[in-house]
Amino acid sequence: METKERIKDILSKLLKVKPEELKDDVSLESSIGVDSTEMVETVIALEKAFNTKLSPKEIIKSSTINDIEAVIKSKLSADEHN
Amino acid sequence: MEKIAVSGIGAVTPSGIGKRQFWANLKSGRSFIKEITRFDASKYPSHIAGQIDDLEKYSHVSERLLKKIDAFSHMALIAAELALQDAGIEIKNEDPNLVGIFLGNAIGGWLYAETELRNLYLEGREGVSPYMASAWFPAAPQGQLSIYYGIKGFSKTVVADRASSLMALGYAGKVLDKNKLNMILAGGMEAPVTPYALLCCNTYGALSENNAYPQSAYRPFDKKRDGFVIGEGAGIVLLEPVARVKKRGANILAYLSGYGTSCDGVDRINPAADGKELARAIKMALADARVSPDEIDYISLDGLAVEIWDNSEIAAIKSVFGSRIRQIPVSCPKSMFGNLLGASGAVDMITAILAMEHNLVPPTLNLEEPATNGLNYITGKAREFNIKKALIISRGRGGINSAIVIEKGA
């Protein structure tokens, strides 16, 4: 599965929203009205799924799916180089 | 206080969800106490309870919200929705600043809390759900109701052991009496059928261990009593000023007309044996309602099925009602579905309102041989009585006493 599809799959299952509600270029706040606790859960779930460290400052309410994908891809490539 | 109208009822109990189902089961005198099936409770000295197994069937709560809240908040959300439907009120059409929430519970959201504590010890910090912070605490249902309906008015959560919800109703009445609000969702909720909560209830030492016969285990005032049985659920009513309900042409199901409370101040668990302070709380509620003891024609008893609690309760009502106590029908209908702890008083008040509406007193189950004679115990099945004014008694550990007077609706 592509990184973006995995992110959508994880988020939809985690937050109990429909995958189509998660838009590539709309913030999580605007698309599904995510709250701060859901953001905490989201960051932890993505860390586990991609086996990388994420800061709650990197993935925020105003992040879009594209933003999240970019953050995770850069982490994964940085992890590979380390 | 001025009379306050009860305009809607929401009952979520082991004996049924919604007032029709609840009442049908109450009047038939059927027990809903069963062996606990939610988890393996077989090693607990008391492993029977009144459980609600089909909550989801009645739920209007989204899966997304459900994973963030404890069962006690879920029960409160359903009970509140039922009360609003019954009253014919849509909160979105009301001024949110003039709607309040007054709820009581004794223990908080333990199913959530104990699950997440287990995760903490097994998996470390990252194993704990971030929703734990907002799911477990006693005021969580108040918060969830306010978010769900956009309610923004003067509100309060009362934590006073088993007396919590009757106290919440009493204070809600006082707030409406001061013309502070247009309406209040008031009552309580409790979800103690969880491994850790059940354990604590067991170590408290007041639970029936008659596991072999769940339906006859909870026997308030009976010679063979050996303690109470816990239950889960919620009871929430909509309270409004009388004039407001009349103006919108809605039904007044009952009037909440008086409230009284006192403390025994003698022991951290047991009540005072003489029942004097409970009697004072009852007199306070009667005076508040401007109702004489001679006018009360039904008493809903706290009925813990523990000798010192039952005896002190009887001592209190005997001292208030004198020889008339031989005539006034008394019962403890929660013997059919369990003691809902902090939610018990609100469910008792709902039961008494339904009893008034149907001119039927629901029975105390399993009261076959009274330990104390001289009272008009209603046992076995519901019996016909025209009830105009009723007293509801609710008490908590450490000698918390509360009493409410209600009157038949117009």
pLDDT in tens, B227-271: 999 999 999 999 999 999 999 999 999 999 999 999 999 999 999
Which of the four pLDDT bands, split at 50, 70 and 90, describes residue A22?
very high
Pairing state between β B233-241 and B183-190: antiparallel
Mean pLDDT of chain B, nearest integer: 96
For residue B24, pLDDT beyond 90: yes
Banded model confidence at residue B56, pLDDT cuts 50, 70, 90: confident
Task: Spell out which residues of chain A touch residue B134, defining contact as CB-CB under 8 Å.
Answer: 37
Inter-chain CB proximity A37 and B134 less than 8 Å: yes
Mean local confidence (pLDDT), B24-41: 96
User: Are B130 and A40 inside 8 Å of each other by CB?
Assistant: yes
Is the confidence at residue B410, as pLDDT, over 80? no
The yes-or-no verdict on residue B313 having pLDDT over 90 is yes
Name the percent of chain B lying above pLDDT 90. Answer: 94
CA distance B79 to chain A (A): 24
Mean pLDDT estimate for chain A: 92
Instruction: Count the Cβ atoms, other than its own, within 10 Å of residue B19.
Output: 22
For residue A81, the model assigns a pLDDT of 80
Q: Give CA–CA dist B149/B153, Å, rounded.
A: 11
**Residue A16: closest CA among chain B residues belongs to which residue?**
B64
Summarised one tens digit per residue, pLDDT across range B321-339 is 999 999 999 999 999 999 9
Contact (CB<8Å) A37/B62: no
**pLDDT 10s digits, A49-81:** 999 999 889 999 999 999 999 999 999 888 888
Q: What was the pLDDT predicted at B332?
A: 98
Mean pLDDT, to the nearest integer, of B368-377?
96
Disruptive mutation site among B61, B65, B66, B67 for chain A (greatest number of A CBs within 10 Å) = B67
Is A37's CB within 8 Å of B130's CB? yes
Q: Residue B345 — pLDDT band, cuts 50, 70, 90?
A: very high
- What confidence category does residue B133 fall into, taking pLDDT thresholds of 50, 70 and 90? confident
> Residue A34: which pLDDT band, with cuts at 50, 70 and 90?
very high
Model confidence at B358, pLDDT cuts 50, 70, 90, reads very high
> Within 10 Å of residue A1's Cβ, how many Cβ atoms?
8
CB contact under 8 A, A40 and B126: no
Interface contact B134-A17, CB threshold 8 A: no
Domain chopping of chain A, boundaries: 3-75
A40: nearest CA in chain B? B130
Is 80 exceeded by the pLDDT of residue A1? no
Quote the CATH superfamily of domain A3-75. ACP-like (1.10.1200.10)
Q: Do B130 and A16 touch (CB under 8 A)?
A: no
Residue type for position A71: V
Closest-CA residue in chain B for A48?
B126
B interface with A, Cβ–Cβ below 8 Å: 62-64, 66-68, 126, 129-131, 133-134
CB contact under 8 A, B133 and A37: yes
Closest-CA residue in chain B for A14? B64
CA of A18: which chain B residue's CA is closest?
Answer: B64
pLDDT tens-digit map of B72-84: 999 999 999 999 9
Which pLDDT value is given to residue B204?
A: 86
Q: What does the pLDDT read at residue B402?
A: 98
Mean pLDDT of B198-221: 95
Band of pLDDT at residue B400, cut at 50, 70 and 90: very high
Buried/exposed code over B104-130 (b: 16+ C-beta within 10 A; e: otherwise): bbbbbbbbbbbbbeebeeeeeeeebbb
Interface predicted TM-score (ipTM) of this complex, two decimals: 0.82
Residue-wise DSSP of B298-360: EEE----SSHHHHHHHHHHHHHHHGGGGGTSEEE-GGGGT-B-GGGHHHHHHHHHHHHHHHTE
pLDDT of residue B205: 86
Determine, for residues A41 and B130 on separate chains, whether the beta-carbon distance falls below 8 Å. yes
User: Closest to B64 (Cβ–Cβ): which among A16, A40, A44?
Assistant: A16
pLDDT at B58: 87
Domains in chain B (CATH in brackets) are 4-247 (3.40.47.10), 258-405 (3.40.47.10)
Give chain A positions within 8 Å (CB) of B131.
37, 41
